[in-house]
């Protein structure tokens, strides 16, 4: 006689899409998205420029394209110490790109050996962390970037750098019932320039206050490798029910030294922009950014929800450095994304 079928129970404690793992009190959501990006031009993220033309030996410009499959796993359960959560976000990419320059036996670059168009594939861990109550430990984006809400709703929001991303992190966030929150994080950095070289961690601390009109937030980061600091302050205003605006300023202790938290040009930088819900399906996002070294970027795009679960986002960007001639450019970006 067949065993009785065990149905999967819906878990509505944490929102839509969660189910109880059979035989446990742990709720699991399996989600993600499939994304296809097309980029062109020489401004913003842009396309692939001055690549080798295989037919005539000259150079040409072409598209950059990326297909990404993202898988997100979110497991949660309640304990006597609060909600226990494990979150994983994996990215699987197939990209167009260009080959690197080859080098001879002495290490010198062989002229003309690189910049051929090619394709690459890769897997990246975007997030992998454990949370219990307000504590978090694992790999994620730096608190210096996340606590002030990145830099607007555009895709190309970091044309003027506003903060780092990938890092190991041990963090605690306090969330009050009156709109006040505060957080502190110990971070490791990334890359050969900013990854810790001693037992002294990078440190980030922030505080924010949010109400119906908007909010204000501030964050400070200390780079223990280079013994430098940086800070940001952001103001958000809900101008109407459909329009929101923000402005954010950043500064650092010494622009002549490397700093994990301040890789913009010069001592200071500023970002501003907003979003407007144009229709039930269309949302406009704009952003302007500028730093002391006169790097400037303007980005505008529209998120258009064609059908539930499928969003198409065309975006255009203009970039320039007002102190250098001939470096301005315009780039186009088109994204198709199916969320599930």
Q: Which residues pair with 97 in a beta bridge?
A: 118
Q: What does the DSSP assignment read for 150-172?
A: BTBSSS-TTSS-----EEEEEEE
- pTM value is 0.91
Q: What does the DSSP assignment read for 24-82?
A: SS-EEEEEEEEEEEEEEESSTT--EEEEE-TTTSSEEEE-EEEEEEEEEEEEEEEETTE
Burial 276-288 (b: 16+ CB within 10 A, else e): beeeeeebbbbbb
Dihedral sign computed on CA atoms, order 48, 271, 152, 84:
positive
d(CA 275, CA 283): 7
d(CA 246, CA 224): 30
Q: Which residues pair with 193 in a beta bridge?
A: none
Question: Nearest-CA neighbor of 260 among 220, 226, 290, 294?
Answer: 226
pLDDT tens-digit readout, 131-168: 999 999 999 999 999 999 999 999 999 999 999 999 99
Q: Which two tokens stand for residue 210?
A: 């949010």
Task: Give the H/E segment covering residue 302.
Answer: strand 295-307
d(CA 183, CA 305): 34
Cβ 218 vs Cβ 205: under 8 Å:
no
Cβ 114 vs Cβ 98: under 8 Å:
yes
Q: What is the pLDDT of residue 109?
A: 63
Question: Hunting for tokens 């971070």 — which residue is that?
Answer: 187
Q: How many CA atoms lie within 13 A of 297 on its CB side?
A: 33
104 falls in which pLDDT band (50, 70, 90)? low
Q: What is the pLDDT of residue 177?
A: 85
Question: Nearest-CA neighbor of 211 among 248, 181, 247, 173?
Answer: 181
Q: What is the pLDDT of residue 129?
A: 98
pLDDT at 227 over 70: yes
d(CA 269, CA 136): 29
What one-character DSSP code corresponds to residue 113? S
Q: What is the pLDDT of residue 110?
A: 64
Question: Hunting for tokens 């780079």 — which residue is that?
Answer: 223
């Amino acid at each position: 006689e067949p065993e009785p079928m065990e149905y999967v129970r819906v878990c509505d404690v944490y929102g839509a899409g969660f189910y109880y793992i059979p035989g446990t009190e742990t709720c699991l959501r399996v989600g993600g998205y499939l994304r296809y990006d097309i980029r062109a031009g020489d401004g913003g993220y842009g396309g692939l420029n001055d690549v080798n033309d295989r037919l005539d030996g000259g150079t040409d410009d072409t598209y950059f394209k990326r297909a990404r499959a993202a898988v997100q796993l979110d497991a949660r359960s309640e304990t006597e110490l609060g909600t226990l959560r494990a979150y994983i976000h994996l990215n699987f990419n197939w990209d167009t790109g260009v080959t690197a320059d080859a080098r001879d036996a002495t290490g010198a670059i062989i002229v003309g050996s690189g910049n051929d168009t090619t394709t690459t594939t890769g897997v990246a861990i975007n997030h992998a962390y454990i949370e219990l109550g307000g504590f978090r430990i694992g790999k994620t984006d730096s608190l210096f970037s996340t606590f002030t809400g990145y830099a607007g709703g555009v895709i190309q929001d970091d044309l003027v750098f506003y903060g780092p991303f990938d890092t190991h992190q041990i963090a605690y966030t306090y969330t009050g019932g009156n709109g006040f929150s505060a957080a502190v994080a110990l971070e490791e950095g990334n890359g050969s320039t900013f990854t810790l070289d001693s037992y002294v961690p990078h440190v980030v601390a922030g505080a924010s206050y949010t109400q119906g009109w908007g909010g204000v937030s501030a964050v400070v980061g200390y780079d223990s490798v280079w013994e430098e600091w940086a800070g940001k302050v952001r103001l958000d205003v809900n101008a109407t029910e459909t329009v929101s605006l923000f402005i954010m300023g950043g500064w650092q202790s010494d622009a002549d030294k490397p700093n994990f938290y301040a890789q913009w040009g010069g001592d200071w930088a500023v970002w501003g922009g907003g979003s407007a819900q144009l229709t039930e399906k269309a949302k406009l996002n704009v952003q302007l950014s500028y730093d002391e070294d006169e790097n400037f970027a303007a980005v505008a795009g529209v998120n258009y929800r064609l059908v539930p679960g499928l969003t198409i986002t065309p975006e255009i960007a203009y970039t320039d450095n007002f102190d250098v001639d001939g470096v301005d450019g315009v780039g186009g970006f088109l994204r198709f994304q199916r969320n599930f």
